[in-house]
């Protein structure tokens, strides 16, 4: 599975959009981008995933560049409860039983300030 690079930490003001970048320059055609977050002392929470098109759900938006070498997770209106570690993960999937492990890196510590 391709490696990802994320900033160690980021700050965001409450009510503003939080834009979390992720670099995955070695991503291959069969690798999906996933985002999870982990709030202190809880299990990770799935946020969103995508292959090449931009995706949006009730939690966030995922913007993937055209060359797929980087992506950005957008939390449109950050709240204090969004303070967490955010993990960008690239996972191989070729259909059926051919898929890779969900491998977590160090992630980005996002702190939302009042």
| Binding interface with another protein (CB under 8 A) | 32, 34, 36, 38, 42-46, 49, 51, 87, 91, 93, 95-97, 99-107
Partnered with residue 87 across adjacent β-strands are 36
Query: Residue 77 Cβ, how far from another protein at the closest point, in Å?
Result: 22
- Phi/psi for 87 (5° steps) reads -110, 130
Query: Residue 11 Cβ, how far from another protein at the closest point, in Å?
Result: 22
Query: Residue 37 Cβ, how far from another protein at the closest point, in Å?
Result: 11
Judged by CB, which is closer to another protein: 21, or 92? Answer: 92
Nearest partner of 47 among 15, 13, 65, 71, judged by Cα: 71
Judged by CB, which is closer to another protein: 13, or 39? Answer: 39
Query: Residue 52 Cβ, how far from another protein at the closest point, in Å?
Result: 12
Judged by CB, which is closer to another protein: 10, or 51? Answer: 51
What is d(CA 102, CA 99) in angstroms, rounded to the nearest whole number? 9
Judged by CB, which is closer to another protein: 26, or 57? Answer: 57
What is d(CA 43, CA 52) in angstroms, rounded to the nearest whole number? 27
Token pair 């055609």 is found at 29
Nearest partner of 11 among 80, 98, 97, judged by Cα: 80
């Amino acid at each position: 599975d391709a490696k990802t690079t994320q900033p160690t930490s980021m700050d965001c003001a409450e009510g503003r959009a939080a834009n979390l970048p992720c670099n995955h320059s070695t991503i291959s055609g069969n690798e999906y981008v996933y985002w999870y977050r982990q709030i202190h002392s809880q299990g990770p929470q799935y946020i969103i995933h995508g292959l090449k098109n931009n995706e949006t759900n009730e939690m966030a938006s995922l913007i993937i560049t055209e060359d797929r070498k980087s992506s950005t997770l957008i939390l449109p209106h950050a709240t204090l409860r969004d303070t967490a570690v955010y993990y960008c993960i690239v996972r191989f999937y070729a259909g059926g039983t051919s898929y890779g492990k969900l491998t977590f890196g160090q992630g980005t510590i996002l702190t939302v300030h009042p």
